[in-house]
Amino acid sequence: MRQLGIQMIPAYSPEARGRSERTFETHQDRLVKELAFYGITDMEAANRYLTEEYLPAFNAEFMRPAPEEGSAFVPWTGGNLDDVLCEHHMRTVSADNCISFEKMKLQIPPDRYRCHYVKVKVRVHRYLDGSLAVFHGPRKLADYDCKGNLKDEKHAA
């Protein structure tokens, strides 16, 4: 959330938690009784009733217009969301300019900024497709496939 610039506002008051719990209780109590009343016993019929009857009636009864027009959402202007919405793991580069990550040895290729990264803390990103990347601060040092092979052909041995 910090990387996305989102501030969490926790509901520490029992009143705030109580309102949401009462809403869930209303749905659980009311929906079960309505399904029983109409003799609905299978999942397909329940889902159809939920979308076609229950939710429209519930929204018509309880939905209120927003006090102000417009949206409170702020567009994302940062970097690549894939680099935020992935697993982040910290590693320290060993004497052979490699890092160990889940039984894989990831070689950091040479670059124009440093001759090596020995003893430097780096961040490993694991993306949804299983591929990996190694970062030093904001700079991406290397991309790897899910087996730990360098993706960039110029760095592959």
Residues 86-96: tens digit of each pLDDT: 999 999 999 99
Tell me which residue range forms the domain holding 140.
81-144
Q: Are residues 48 and 92 in the same domain?
A: no
pLDDT in tens, 77-114: 878 889 989 999 999 999 999 999 999 999 999 888 88
pLDDT classification of 157: cutoffs 50, 70, 90 = very low
95 with 55, same domain: the answer is no
Asked if the structure places residue 2 within a domain, the reply is no
When pLDDT is averaged across residues 32-38 and rounded to a whole number, the result is: 92
Q: Are 116 and 92 in contact (CB under 8 A)?
A: no
Same domain, 121 and 89: yes
Cα→Cα distances 14→24, 28, 39, 91, 96, Å: 15, 20, 37, 41, 55
| pTM attached to this predicted model | 0.60
Q: In this structure, what token pair is assigned to residue 67? A: 């006090």
What is the C-alpha to C-alpha distance for residues 77 and 100, in angstroms, rounded to an integer? Answer: 33
Judge if 38 and 93 occupy the same domain: no
Tokens of 88: 């982040």
Number of domains in the chain: 2
